[in-house]
Amino acid sequence: MQALDEPRMSDTFAGDAAIVTGASKGIGSGIATKLAEQGASVVVNYRSSEKRAESVVDEIVDRGGEAVAVQADVSDEDDVAAMVEATVDYFGSLDVMVNNAGMTTLGPAEEIDIEDWRRVVDVDLTGVFIGSRAAGRQMLSQDDSGAIVNVASMMGEMGFHMRAPYCAAKAGVINLTRTLAVEWAEDGVSVNALAPGFIQTDITDQTQDSAGYTDIDIHRRTPMARYGTVEEMANCVSFLARDDNYVTGEVLRADGGWVSDAWRYRENRA
């Protein structure tokens, strides 16, 4: 575990401990860094990318934060239980749980292998339930309760070509979030979801290659005419994880207006 040795940028989450799953890259690493900047001690979860996870930890520590990398497969109950236990051992509590880890597979529904379907659902939906349940059990046992933020997707609210398992799983995350929020609200545990649209990450180019779209396609279809950024998604999670906003059971869609605009494709947009 790395120790805090410099002042933090803010104290929004001072004294809190957070887990961010799938935090070795992309949106997850941005969320972990943001929470640390705001005072949280952060568990940077990874499944297989230890080197990348340690790089995120190093970045947090270099900025004056506190973090530790913890390996766990989010679809494995024992792994997740051990990660929550380790968090409490390291930091004394679990106050924020961000279920961000996810995966997808692309292909026509009639051709998707059932094992690919199950793996996406295991990680993207069952993994969110396992993480929420483990975190919820810990938070319900604490005096100060806590906040759970599940990373869903705008694709959980709409059909999307070639992504049947992902869309189905993310739709499940949205209603799971609402259900857990209702169950745990009186006990002081908020449960919310973030539903990103197309976000610029280090795997954007790879996704484009396999799905057959370009930056220009996304810009033309999105009312804000650009990708979202990792920093913007981290800011959204930071808001949802706060304990002073009277928000639970909410799905915050951050998609640049995509879902609100039922159909758009402007040739003159670049």
Residues taking part in catalysis = 166
11 token code pair: 């104290």
CB atoms inside a 10 Å sphere around CB 199:
19
| 209 CB burial (10 A radius; 0-12, 13-18, 19+) | exposed
79 token code pair: 């792994």
Cα 26 to Cα 255: distance, rounded to the nearest angstrom: 16
Cα 107 to Cα 105: distance, rounded to the nearest angstrom: 7
Instruction: Give the N- to C-terminal CA distance of the chain in Å, as an integer.
Output: 46
160 token code pair: 């999307």
Q: How are the residues of the chain apportioned to helix, strand and coil, as percentages rounded to the nearest 5?
A: 45, 15, 40
Q: b or e along 215-254 (b: 16 or more beta carbons within 10 Å of the residue's beta carbon)?
A: eeebbbbbeeeebbebebbbebbbebbbbeeeebbbbbbb
151 token code pair: 């990373």
